[in-house]
DNA sequence: AGGTTGACCTGTCAGC
DNA sequence: TGCTGACAGGTCAACC
């Protein structure tokens, strides 16, 4: 799925097209994705305004105002494993797996999600969005200053398991999925098998920097388009072309030339170089 | 309590 | 050609 960079690239692509615009209609074509979709979405949204699009972890938060009675609401969107957002013209016929449309006059925001692991939830802003049960369990944002080597070292103390699944634990730090966990560990020279609590303070500094560098580079490259992911204009990201280890099993390591190894950890594929990562 | 596994769902590809 | 199984960017609930 989209990890943090893909979600952020989506947000940056949608913002100039849609922010501030009035919603002219909305359609849902399936009763549920991961959770049931908001009912009567068209009725609720028509005439309201999309004020802003924010991101928290891998969630996009669509701030809606000018609702009847001058209320505000937030649409919480998660792209799951295979979701993507596109802007299309109103006469573009929906294809299979195009589950939601939100229309803005001459532009339509369309959600496609073949595997339907995504989510779209309505949050009326009678309570802060930070208190929402899906949001209030989320850990620190990796690109914020709070996330650094000292913070990471403090949090890894209690984790005896291998570092790679820990790095992907959104209750600790958000936004790092399978691709960027592998790439960050390669960049920092740390084995994905190493016990999290046995990583020194100095190497935690290196790892925190590697995470920030990897995610930032991926945003700059427009994200990774490994299978389904595309931008709001239908174009592909190109970070996957810079991947050092992800999906490169058996190919020569870019550091030492020895073959990249693929193993399984916590049910997910892990790619790494046993020679460069200790 | 932390770690692992299965479940959710569809599409694709390798192997027979 | 057609079937079967494995696997795919996430995350939650259920188990040890």
Which pLDDT does position A50 carry in this prediction?
98
Which pLDDT does position A275 carry in this prediction?
97
User: What are the residue numbers of the active site of A?
Assistant: 2-3, 58, 268
- Amino acid A201 CA to nucleotide B14 C1' distance, rounded Å: 44
Covered bases, chain C (protein CB within 7 Å):
7-12
Residue A40 beta carbon within 7 A of nucleic strand B: no
Q: What are phi and psi of A87, to 5 degrees?
A: -105, 125
Residues 217-276 of A with CB under 7 A from strand C: 223-229, 237, 267-269
Mean pLDDT per 10-residue section of chain A, whose length is 278 residues: 92 97 98 96 97 98 93 98 96 97 98 97 97 97 98 97 97 97 98 97 98 97 84 89 93 96 95 97
What does the domain layout of chain A look like in residue ranges? 4-131, 149-272
Which pLDDT does position A1 carry in this prediction?
63
Residue A212 beta carbon within 7 A of nucleic strand C: no
Domain A4-131: CATH superfamily is MutM-like, N-terminal (3.20.190.10)
Q: A4-131 and A149-272 share one CATH topology?
A: no
CATH class name, domain A149-272: mainly alpha
Residue A194 beta carbon within 7 A of nucleic strand B: no
Residue A116 beta carbon within 7 A of nucleic strand B: yes
**Which nucleotide does the CA of A230 lie closest to, via C1'?**
C9
Which pLDDT does position A189 carry in this prediction?
98
What digits encode the pLDDT tens for the residues A90-130?
Answer: 999 999 999 999 999 999 999 999 999 999 999 999 999 99
**Which nucleotide does the CA of A161 lie closest to, via C1'?**
B3
**Which nucleotide does the CA of A82 lie closest to, via C1'?**
C9
Covered bases, chain B (protein CB within 7 Å):
1-11
Average pLDDT, chain A: 96
């Amino acid at each position: 799925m989209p990890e943090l960079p893909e979600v952020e690239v989506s947000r940056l692509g949608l913002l100039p097209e849609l922010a501030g615009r009035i919603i002219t209609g909305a359609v849902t074509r399936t009763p549920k994705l991961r959770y049931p979709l908001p009912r009567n979405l068209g009725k609720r949204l028509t005439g309201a305004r999309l004020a802003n699009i924010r991101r928290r972890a891998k969630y996009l938060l669509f701030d809606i105002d000018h609702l009847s009675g001058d209320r505000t609401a937030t649409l919480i969107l998660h792209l799951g494993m295979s979701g993507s957002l596109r802007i299309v013209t109103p006469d573009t016929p929906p294809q299979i797996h195009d589950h939601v449309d939100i229309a803005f006059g001459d532009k339509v925001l369309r959600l496609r999600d073949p595997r339907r692991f995504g989510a779209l939830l309505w949050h009326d802003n009678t309570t802060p969005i930070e208190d929402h049960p899906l949001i209030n369990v989320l850990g620190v944002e990796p690109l914020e200053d709070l996330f650094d080597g000292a913070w990471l070292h403090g949090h890894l103390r209690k984790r005896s398991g291998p570092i790679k699944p820990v790095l992907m634990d959104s209750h600790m730090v958000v936004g790092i999925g399978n691709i960027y966990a592998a790439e960050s560990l390669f960049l920092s020279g740390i084995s994905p098998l190493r016990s999290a609590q046995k990583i020194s303070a100095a190497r935690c500094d290196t790892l925190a920097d590697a995470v920030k560098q990897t995610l930032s580079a991926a945003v700059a490259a427009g994200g990774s388009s490994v299978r389904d992911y595309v931008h709001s204009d239908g174009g592909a990201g190109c970070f996957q072309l810079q991947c050092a280890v992800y999906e490169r099993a058996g190919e020569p390591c870019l550091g030492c030339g020895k073959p990249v190894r693929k193993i399984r950890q916590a049910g997910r594929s892990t790619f790494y170089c046993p020679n460069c990562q200790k």
